[in-house]
Amino acid sequence: MDIHEYQTKELLARYQIHIPRGGLAYSPEQAAYRASEIGGDRWVVKAQIHSGARGKAGGIAICTSDQQIVEASERMLGRKLITHQTGPQGKLVSRLYIEEAMDIEREIYLGFVLDRKSERIMIVASSSGGMEIEEIAAAEPDSIIRATVDPGVGMQDFQAREIAFGLGIDNALIGRATQTLLGCYRAFVEYDASMLEINPLAVTRQGGLVALDAKMSFDENALFRRPHISEMRDKSQEDPRETFASDRGLSYVGLDGRIGCIINGAGLAMATMDMIKIAGGEPANFLDIGGGASPERVAKSFRAVLSDKNVETILVNIFAGINRCDWVAEGIIKALREVGVPVPLVVRLSGTNMEEGRRILADSGEDIIIAETLAEAADKAVAAWRSVTTQQAA
Q: What is the pLDDT of residues 90-121, one digit of tens each?
A: 899 999 999 999 999 999 999 999 998 889 99
Say if residue 199 carries a ligand binding annotation. yes
Q: Can you give the pLDDT at residue 240?
A: 80
Stated length of the chain = 394
Give, in degrees to the nearest 5, the angle at Cα 109 between 156 and 54: 140
Among 207, 189, 178, 201, CA closest to 127: 201
**Distance (Å, whole) CA 264 – CA 271:** 11
Within 10 angstroms of residue 290's Cβ, the number of other Cβ atoms is 16
Catalytic residue at 100? no
Q: Is 213 annotated to bind ligand?
A: yes
The β-bridge relationship of strands 193-204 and 209-211 is: antiparallel
pLDDT along the chain (394 residues), means of 10: 95 95 96 95 95 88 95 94 85 94 93 92 90 78 89 93 94 94 96 94 92 93 90 86 78 90 89 95 89 74 89 92 83 85 92 90 90 94 91 76
Domains observed in the chain: 20-100 (3.30.1490.20), 104-229 (3.30.470.20), 240-388 (3.40.50.261)
Other CB atoms within 10 A of residue 72 CB: 25
Residue 341: the pLDDT is 86
How many whole angstroms separate alpha carbon 161 and alpha carbon 125? Answer: 13
pLDDT digits 0-9 by tens, 308-345: 889 999 999 988 877 788 888 988 898 888 888 899 99
Return the pLDDT at 293. 62
pTM (predicted TM-score)? 0.78
Answer yes or no: is 99 a known binding residue: yes
197 catalytic? Reply is yes
Closest CA to 179 of 148, 210, 213, 215: 210
Q: Which of 109, 185, 191, 252 is catalytic?
A: 109
Catalytic residue among 97, 185, 191, 197: 197
Residue 102 labeled ligand binder: yes
46 is in an annotated binding site: yes
80-81 vs 60-63, strand pairing mode: unpaired
Cβ-Cβ contacts under 8 Å for 350 (sequence gap 6 or more): 318, 319, 320, 325, 372
